Each structure stands twice: as structure tokens, then as C-alpha cells.
A and B are shown apart, each in its own frame.
Chain A
Amino acid sequence: MGSSLDLDSSFLAHLFTAGLWAYMAGGATGLIAWRRAEWARGLSFGLAALGAVLGGAAALLTLLAGTTVRWDLASGVPFLRYSLTLDPLAAFFNLALALVALAISVYSQGYVKREGAGVLGCLYNLLLLALALVFTASNAFFFLVAWEVMALTAYGLVSFEHHHESTRDAGILFFILSHAGTACLLAGFLLLVQAAGGYDFAAFGEAARTLSPARRDAVFLLFLAGFGVKAGVIPLHVWLPAAHPVAPSNVSALMSGIMIKTGIYGLIRVTFQFLTPPEPWWGGLILVVGIVSALLGVLYALMEHDLKRLLAYHSIENIGIILLGLGSALLFQASGHERLAALALVAGLYHTLNHAIFKALLFLGAGAVLHSTGTRNMEEMGGLIRRMPATAFYFLIGSIAISGLPPLNGFVSEWLTYQALLAGYGTTQSLSRLMFPIAGSLLALTAALAAACFVKAFGISFLALPRSEQAGQAHEASFSMRAGMFVLAAACVVLGLGATWFLPVFDPITGSLVGPAVSSDLRAGAGFVLVAGSARAGTVSPLGISGLLVALLAVPALLWLLWARGTKRRRGPVWDCGLQRVTAANEYTATAFSKPIRMIFAALYRPTREIEAEFEVSPYFPKAIRFESEIEPAFEKRLYDPLKEWILALAGRFRGIQAGSIHAYLAYIFVTLILLLVFGARP
């Protein structure tokens, strides 16, 4: 495609800015019309959809043209510049944001309840605005402002249903960790600003080369921690499974789909643009963090039977998979294998987009179920496929996609990740090359466990008999909710089957960040086949596989015509082992489903259980059994609880100087001033 599209860059800037204005207007109308809930909802989410369309169009056109657009927003303050840059990387993340935001905004028309709709719409629009600015800001100060607005609006949205205590706790936890992360970013940016003598992103790359190696490492680690909190990498993830489930489901979808990707965006921006060339161990560290997050994320997800918490843990898993691509890209970049670095970066970025889409889809599906049954507990669902056929179908599409099964989009990006890891073996002669296939095999374990987890999530929630009265009376989602889910489900199919046609979008990104454009290396056979660098290294064709599956239907069809035309299919009760009729109580539960995993990985989970049985004559004829099983939240208990104790103890020591005496405070200020003058005056 290249630069065949000749667009006026000021047109793109105006288009994008118009999208930002739509979000702002959406936020304002939400507040203005808050007394009329229907109007507030319709207008604010409608304007959000409009903003998504405008911003998405600008991002897509920028990507297709492969250009970079720079412009400033009026700030009104003399030396403060609100500079925006829509380069290919920014455009890609904005495109993902727009696609997901459009689907969620449509969905929200049917999902959002009347009470509080105006406030929710306002905060939602502000979050979209902040996200678009985080992806586009090209000035450290402006970036941090947008980052903070994002954190605050997200806090407001997480705590939206604040009448539950767990929601308030989750909100506070998010607030604290988010700011700890921002502090790391602030320190990292200050080191860069000091070297560059300005806030502009463009100057950082040059300036970072003048830093001493130790400072560069410090900057990298600060950014890794700061962005890692937002991305939810283990062990900085604890806020994520607490905050995502308690937020309204449309917000969970936006947070899991896009907000945690700001961490990924930041990491790419910093490591590929600011701190070039990267040190080899950075990539290795990211690879290790990625595989730990992926594996532990899915293992914790398997133990959840809160549908939304389960999905939240899968976000941690998928961030891990994305980091596998990013880490390998950094390693290849450090060892001078630019084409491979581009392949690995494409794998990471493609999984970023794919995860945004299928995770948003799954959260919207979970929201529809919550809306209809009033519960997030899978043990109280069941049989929903009959009451909510469309929702069940879309949820199934999302489940197949997130499990990385062909021919949908998750498969394509996981396949690219495997290929990048396999190619990594040849990039070095040292023993560290073994890291790549081992990471690949653990990725295989992760993906297989994810499939097990989604058999559980879909099978227990949607199949068999209803496990509770609410589940038996569930109703299908409204039209706009189904429309929102349809958009995302269709995107899962299109990005899977049509992957080869989508790949050129990555060319300007890899071109600007690592050098080569590799989409032509990744396509063969008139674009129907995806190849890994060269056709010799491996090929796959999701479209071909789908076509083959359909064509092979001829075999059973033919045999049916030959011998089975007269056979009948009738319904009957299942075999009940001679007892009374099989009821929902006989069904396998989510807890039982994951029991083998819980026993096999007992060293990690440290499960505890409690069984109480009531019986009259003999223990073999129990009247009632109560079973309780819990796993130990290892990171919360072993890392964060001691840390919390330590901080509280430290704070207790400082209580002494907080005497409440105004004279003492004046003395503190005076001493501080003297110290600042002494140290600050040095040339």
C-alpha cells in the first residue's frame, strides 16, 4: 500500500481532533442531561460512538498512508504545549481503541441502567478521551496529564457501584497501585527530561544515548515497573482481578480491552523509540516476565468461578503472551536481527489488537449474562444457551478466539509468536538460545490451560441445565447489546481468516520502530497463506483450513446419502443410573471441573478445604453436605501484606513529627527552604 494514499495531514489532524471534541461533548451532555436518564444515555454514548468513528477513521487513514501527523492543541498557558503526534504506532493503538469503543458504545445503549446513566456516560467519555490522548500525546508533561486523567476517571468508573464495600476496596487498591506506577513513570521521564532539556518525545531518543549505562538501565526498569502496573504483569497485577469485575461490564470491557494496553503501548514507545539500541537483558527480562504472567494468569483464572474475575485473570495471561512477542523483538533488535525483530513485534502487536477485541467481546457477553441473571457466579448459571442463543454464540466465538484455536484471530497471533520464538533459537550460539523453545513450550501449556478454562467458562455457564432460578428465567440481550457483540465477534472472524490482508497495516509501524517492513515476508500464495519470514520456515492458512473443513463435510454428507437417509433422531432423557431423574444438582460444577488442576498444582495454590456432613444413621447416608474450598492468594499474602505492614510501620514512625503545632510546621518549611537554596543554587 505504501504511500499510495495522498492525504493532507491537516485533514487527518482535524478529523482526529473532531473525534476528541465528540468525546468531550459526550462527557458534557452526560452531565447536563443527567436528570433525563434516557437522553443522557442516548446522547453521551451516541457521541462516544461518533468520536470512535472519527478517531478510528483518522487512525486508519494515517496507517494506510503510512504518514506521521503532528499538531498542537491550544493550551492557553505560555510555555506549556499540548503536542499530539499521530505516528503509525499511535495510529494502531487508536485504531484498536476506536473499534472496541464503537462496539462498547453501541452495547451500552442497551446495557446501562437508568440511574446514574449521565454520570457513567460522562466518566466513560472522559476515559475514552484520556485513552486517545495517552496514545497520541508526544510531550512528557501532556502524556502524564492524560495518564492521570485516565487513572482518575477509571477510578471513578471502578467505584461506580460504590454501595458495595468490595467495590470501594477494589477502587482504592486500583487508585494506590496506579499512582505507585505513575510515580515510577514520573521518575523515568524526569531522568529523560534532564538529559534532553525538554519535554518533547522527539528529543528523548537522541538524549538517551548520552545517558550512562546504569542510568539507561534505571530508566528502563522504572518504565517497566510503571507501565507494568497498568498492563497488569505479575507481580504488579493484584489490582486487576479486583477492579475489573466490580466495574460495570461495559467499562470492564474497555479497561481489559484497551486501558491495560496503554502499558504495552508505553513499553513499546520507550524501548523502541527512546532507549535505542536496547540492552539484551531487557528483552530477556520482558520474556521472563511475560511467561510468568501468562502461566500464572491462566492458572489463577482456572480457579475462578466468578465469570468476570476469570476473564480478568485471562487479561494477565494475554498480556504475558503479548510480552513474549515484545521481549523477543527487543532481544532480536539487540542482536541486530532486524527482520526477526519486526516479525516478533508484529506478533506482539497483532495479539494486542486481537486480545482487545475478544476480551471486550467476552466481557460484553459476561455483562449480558449478569444483566439477565443478576449473578457473576458461574455455579448459578447453566442452560443459558437456550434462553440467550445469540449471546451464547458470540461468547463461544470469543472463547474459541481467546483459546488460540484456528481459524480465528487468536490462533494467528499465537502462531506468529511461536514462529518468532522458534526463529529466536538461531539468533545466538550461547546457551541462552534454549530460553526460546522453553518459552514456546510454556506458551503451549498456557494456551492448552486457557482452552480448558474456556471449556469450563462456556460449558458451565451456558450448557446443560440451569443451576438456579434466575438462570432458568434468563432473557436474551437487547438488540443494541447484541449489535455491539456482533461487531466484535465479526472482527474476530475477519482478523483470523483475513489475517494476511491485514498485515500490511503493520509495515509503517515496524518500518519506523525497527527498520524493515515485513508484511511481504509474511504472505504467500496470492495472500491466502501466512508464512513465517520465508515459506520454508512454516506456513499456515486460516482461510484454507476453514475451506478444507467445509469441503470435508462432503464425506459425512455422502455417507449419509448412501446409508443413513432413513435414520431418525429422537430426544430422550439421559441415563440416570437408576435413580430419580437427573437434575441440575447432578451436573458437574465449575469447582469440580477445575479440581484436577487444583490438585496437580497444589504447590502453587495451597488449597484448603472444609467439609461438614450431617447424617442420621450412618455417614454413608448424608442428609446435607457443606463443602468449602479456598486457594491461597499467594501474591496478596506473601508480597503485598508484608509490604503494607512495613509501610504502615514506617508511617507510624513519622507520626512523631506530625505534632499538630503550627510553629513546628513553619520550622519544617524554613529548614526545607534553606536546604533547597543550598543544594539548588549549585551550578
Chain B
Amino acid sequence: MKQLAVASLLQLAVLLAVAPLASGVIKTLKARMQTRRGPGILQPYRDLFKLWRKNMVVPDSASWIFAVAPYVVFLTAAAVGLMIPMIAWEAPLGLFGGVLAIIYLLGLGRFFLALAGLDAGTAFGGMGSSREMTISALAEPAMMLAVFTVAIAAGSTSLTEVARSAAGQSWRFLAPSQILAFSALFIVLIAETGRIPVDNPATHLELTMIHEAMILEYSGRYLALIEWGASIKQLVLMTLLVNVFFPFGLSASWRAPALAIALGVYLLKLLALGALIVLVETTNAKLRLFRVPELLAVAFILGALALISSFLF
């Protein structure tokens, strides 16, 4: 019980601290790839700190949904972060839910954020909500197929079990089904975190924005919670990818020396995945909204192929 509490608090601390860093590193790497200097990897912390201490303006037309949504987004993302294996095999609160609960909890956060987008009564908010719900709905079956492929291989939807079963066979990620499932989930990651070619996190151009359109009316502490929540969600999905498919380096216990090494390996794995995201973002142009379903259909087909190849091989 005591170990569980320590493990949860430790993972929560890593989660909250590393999430903005991951966003900062990706931003800086991207700037370097485009031969810009970039704002520095600590910029997200400075942004969050500044937003947190600012006064807020809430639209006249908004109801209590507007005030509740940032908390739901933040809390669901943080809760999910405690239900995945991050630096140790064992997810501290994995008993509370496996991969299905994680997908659905993130869905709860999105549900409230989309409602908040409609709440202010502007055209932009509604546009963002509509697009966000559409794209996430289309990403869902691809995600589920890839997740099922992994869950079937492990015989469990519990992520602790998934990581443990993969850890026994460290070269399993070379199996065709794993490569295909990874590719499918990578596309889903791009779509879910609102990155190019699906959405552009750096734009406020009304015709193209999705995530940014929903949160256009937010300011101050609410905005900080949403941004922080979004970066935690991104970290959670990235962690899911690196630890499910490449589970090496995960610590078997919650003891300090093993954990320190595991944390180092984990950060390196994140850096590699972040570099991959940056590469995709830099070498692609944003897709027109109605081309996005085609990309997600590719992800679905990759997921289906992963499943079939896990049946064949």
C-alpha cells in the first residue's frame, strides 16, 4: 500500500514535470530542423507559469461547462498517466483500468473540451469541436485494432501485463504484426495530438485550426490547465508507444538505482520518438481537412493488417 502510494506520487511527479519538457523539446527540435533557433526547451514551463498567474476573462455567453472543462481535461490526462507503465513495468494504478479505460478516459476529457468549444457560442469554437470529434471518431477504430493486436498477443488489456509479456521477448518489435501496429498507432498519435499533417499546433488560421479553435476563448489559469493537460495527453500516448512496443529498460522494482537508470532510458526513448514526430512534421504539409479521413483509413488498414499478420505468423 505504502509502495503503491510512493510509486503513484513518483510517477505523477515525473508525468507533470516531463510533459511540458516533451513539448518544448519537440518544438526546439522542429525549429532546428527548419534552421530556426526556436524558443528553447523550457519555454512551455515559462508559458504555463505565466498563464497560471494571470487574470481570466470568461465569455458572457458561457455556462459552468466552460469552467469545468479545463479541470476535466487536466484530471483525466493526469489520471491516465498513472494507469500506464512509465519507468517501471508496473503501472502504479493499473488495477483501475487498462488500455480501454485509458482510451475512454481521454474520450471524457475530449467530450468536455468539445462542449466547452460550443459553450461560448462563437463559430470558431463550434467548428473546432465538430472537427475534433469527427477526427477522433475516425481515429478510434484504427487505434482499437492496433491495441487489440497488442492485447491479444499479451492475452490482456492490462498494460502492466502487456509490457511484461513483451519484455520477455525483447526483439518482438521486429515481428510484422508489431511493426504494422506501431505504424497504425503512430498515425493515431499524430491525429490525437493535433500535429502536422492532421492539425497544426502552431497556427491560429481559422480555416485550418482544430484543437486551437476549441480553446480560443480560454485565458489564464483555465488555458494553462488545458495546455498542460494536452501536453500530458501527448506524453501518455508517446509513452504508450515506446513502452508497449519497445519495453526494454523498464525497471522491475520501485527501488532508487534501478529507477534512475530506467528514467534515463525512458527519456532517451521519448527523445527518439520525438525526433520521429519532428521528422514527419517537417517533411509533410498539412492535409486538407477532408483528406485526413484517408490518412486515418490508412491507419485502419495498417491495424487490420497487423491483426491478420498476427494470425498468420
A residues contacting B by CB (< 8 A) are 382-383, 385-386, 400, 403-406, 411, 415, 418-419, 422, 425-426, 431, 433-434, 437-438, 440-445, 447-449, 451-452, 454-456, 458-460, 463-465, 525, 529, 532, 536-541, 544-545, 548-549, 552-553, 555-556, 559-560, 563-564, 567-575, 582, 584, 586-589, 592-597, 599-600
Contacts and interface: CB of A to CB of B under 8 A. Distances in A.
Interface stretch (B25-33, B132-140, B265-273): B132-140
B174 to A, nearest CB: 22
Contacts of A418: 100, 157
Contact of B126 (A422, A452, A588): A588
Interface in B261-313: 289-290, 293, 300, 303-304, 307-308, 311
Interface in B214-245: 216-217, 220-221, 225
B140 A570 contact: no
A564 B225 CA distance: 12
17 contacts: A406-B108, A415-B104, A445-B144, A448-B140, A452-B134, A459-B119, A541-B96, A545-B79, A552-B79, A564-B221, A568-B56, A569-B220, A573-B60, A574-B60, A574-B120, A586-B121, A588-B123
Contacts of B16: 555
B129 A567 contact: no
A569 B71 contact: no
B158 A571 contact: no
B42 interface: no
Contacts of B108: 400, 405-406
Given A541-B97, A593-B129, 17 more contacts: A385-B63, A448-B137, A455-B118, A537-B158, A541-B96, A553-B75, A555-B12, A555-B74, A564-B53, A567-B53, A569-B55, A571-B60, A573-B60, A589-B126, A594-B130, A597-B137, A600-B290
Contact of A438 (B107, B125, B304): B304
A564 B96 contact: no
B122 A574 contact: yes
B111 A549 contact: no
B115 A437 contact: no
B259 interface: no
Contacts of A599: 290
A552 B71 CA distance: 10
Q: Would you call the interface of chain B mostly helix, strand, loop, or mixed? A: helix
Contacts of A573: 59-60
B166 interface: no
Contact of B79 (A459, A549, A560): A549
B176 interface: no
A437 B157 CA distance: 13
B152 A425 contact: yes
B100 A587 contact: no
Interface in B74-102: 74-76, 78-79, 82, 93-98, 100-101
A65 B236 CA distance: 46
Please indicate which of the listed interface residues B65, B220, B225, B290 has the most CB atoms of chain A within 10 Å of its own CB.
Answer: B65
Contacts of A570: 55-58
Please indicate which of the listed interface residues B82, B120, B137, B156 has the most CB atoms of chain A within 10 Å of its own CB.
Answer: B137
A541 B95 contact: yes
B127 interface: yes
B189 interface: no
What is the interface residue range for chain B against chain A? 35 or more
B97 A540 contact: yes
A539 B145 contact: no
B172 interface: no
A541 to B, nearest CB: 5
A534 B130 CA distance: 39
Contacts of B118: 455, 459-460, 463-464, 588, 593
Contact of A600 (B134, B140, B148): B134
A553 B71 contact: yes
A405 B54 CA distance: 33
Given A451-B111, A536-B155, A593-B129, A549 B76 contact: yes
Nearest to B76: A549
Contacts of A445: 137-138, 140-141, 144
A55 B103 CA distance: 40
A385 B65 contact: yes
Please indicate which of the listed interface residues A559, A563, A584, A594 has the most CB atoms of chain B within 10 Å of its own CB.
Answer: A559
B209 interface: no
B46 to A, nearest CB: 13
Contact of B52 (A425, A444, A563): A563
A555 B78 contact: yes
A449 B63 CA distance: 25
B136 to A, nearest CB: 6
B212 interface: no
A418 B58 CA distance: 40
Contacts of A559: 52
B53 A455 contact: no
B18 interface: no
B53 A572 contact: no
B104 A411 contact: yes
A573 B121 CA distance: 11
Contacts of B53: 563-564, 567
Nearest to B56: A569
Contacts of A548: 79, 82, 93, 96
A539 B115 contact: no
A447 B137 CA distance: 8
Contacts of A574: 59-61, 120-122, 217
Contact of B144 (A400, A440, A588, A592): A440
A592 B134 contact: no
A553 B126 CA distance: 28
B130 A556 contact: no
B143 interface: yes
Nearest to B304: A438
A459 B97 contact: no
Contacts of B117: 459
B196 interface: no
A541 B97 CA distance: 6
A589 B129 CA distance: 12
B114 interface: yes
Nearest to B115: A459
Contacts of B144: 440-441, 443-445
Contact of A588 (B61, B78, B127): B127
A595 to B, nearest CB: 7
Contacts of B63: 385-386, 463
B104 A572 contact: no
B121 A455 contact: no
A594 B120 CA distance: 18
Nearest to A404: B104
A243 to B, nearest CB: 28
A455 B52 contact: no
B207 to A, nearest CB: 13
A406 B101 contact: yes
Given A537-B155, A548-B93, A431 B311 contact: yes
B105 interface: yes
Contacts of B61: 383, 464-465, 574, 582
B59 A571 contact: yes
Given A569-B56, A582-B122, A525 B95 contact: yes
Nearest to B220: A567
